[in-house]
Amino acid sequence: MNHSRSLFRTWSGAIVVLFVVVLLAGCSGKKTVEPVPVGEMLDYRDAAIGFHLAYPKGWIQDAEVGTRARFFNAPEVDKKFLDPTGPYPDGVTINVELTRTTSPDSVWKAQIGEMNKMGFVIAPEEPATLAGKKAVKVSYSGAYTNKVKEAGYHIFFNADTLLYDIRFAGFGSYFEAYKAVFDASLTSFELPKPVEKGRDQTLPSDATSEYATPLFSFQYPDNYNFETIPKGNNELAISLRGANKSCSIQFTVFPAKGLTLEKVFDQNKGKFAAASAGKATVGTQPAMTLTYPATKDVERRFYFVVKNDKVVRITLDWFKPQRTEYLAAYDKVINSVRFK
């Protein structure tokens, strides 16, 4: 069934096992997971459709723009959902699956019917709310063995010819432990805003969101998505990427070790031949800049700031043919920085 592609990718390998053991009862013998509080959340925005929702910082992201966005609380948990009886850790997931169809109601009902045939215990449909609009919630549970059990729920929402399937699920006691996190993510969900006619949707959005760290806060275009980058020896490393994947915004923080802004700048400028130097202000703090061609079509600018004996380096990449538009958006980012 074409409309149930995500369901079959996730559960097809476990159909036979589930039929055999779904009625088995017994203790898993695993340690109960304590309730997990809602901590720092990141915002995911789909660059093609435009929906967005929050997910916990540090989770593993697996997204395909315009089709799906999946988040897992730990490495290899994604494999657990594909192969529940395999040697993978228990954990939880937040999934958003999108299906284009002229009959969304029949699609999700057929999906639930397939789950029922596979042996999942399906709870009665419940009314739900998604971004202030009416939706349907369907909870489920199932046992692959007497020690491997999964529970979760789907939120189905129809938007014309687009079916949203938002799923929250977990193995063992993880599902209940992450209930507050799931609720926070669902509450954060926002449907796409109307597209501005004639506007290049790969450009940074005029609408912005705010992000705060222990050292500073800043605003960023709301069609840029957070991505995981290695922290290395840095105290902080943040990266956001635009719909044009060559364009990004990064913040990196590392010790200044008593050096002044000028000394920090001198240590770095020699690494970039033919870079042009400049001066600027970031969050009322003096800054120095280096601008140079990163590739044939991409330009890059570094901002260096020294605050509280820490170097804050901001790296901006933009598409050279649209330099004016990108720099206008990036100026807003730089001007929004507020140090603590």
Examine the domain organization and report whether 265 and 229 are in the same domain.
yes
Examine the domain organization and report whether 232 and 285 are in the same domain.
yes
Q: pLDDT over 70 for what percent of the chain?
A: 89
Beta-bridge partners for 276: 291
Choosing from 188, 220, 252, the residue where a domain stops is 188
Average pLDDT of the segment spanning 85-100: 96
What pTM does this model have? 0.62
Count structural domains, the chain: 2
Examine the domain organization and report whether 323 and 267 are in the same domain.
yes
- Give the 3-state secondary structure of residue 279: strand
Examine the domain organization and report whether 277 and 321 are in the same domain.
yes
d(CA 292, CA 295): 9
d(CA 86, CA 77): 11
Examine the domain organization and report whether 16 and 104 are in the same domain.
yes
CATH number, residue 212 = 3.40.1000.10
Give the domain extent around 285: 208-339
Beta-bridge partners for 304: 288, 313
- Give the 3-state secondary structure of residue 182: helix
Q: What does the pLDDT look like over 242-292, one tens digit per residue?
A: 989 999 999 999 999 999 999 999 988 888 877 899 999 998 899 999 999
Q: What is the pLDDT at residue 195?
A: 60
Examine the domain organization and report whether 139 and 285 are in the same domain.
no
CB-CB contact of 78 with 91 (8 Å): no
Q: To which H or E segment does residue 43 belong?
A: strand 41-45
Q: What does the pLDDT look like over 146-204, one tens digit per residue?
A: 999 999 999 999 988 899 999 999 999 999 999 999 999 999 999 987 666 667 878 99
Residue with tokens 């529940």: 84
Choosing from 188, 223, 241, the residue where a domain stops is 188
Average pLDDT of the segment spanning 23-43: 71
d(CA 43, CA 221): 11
Examine the domain organization and report whether 161 and 130 are in the same domain.
yes
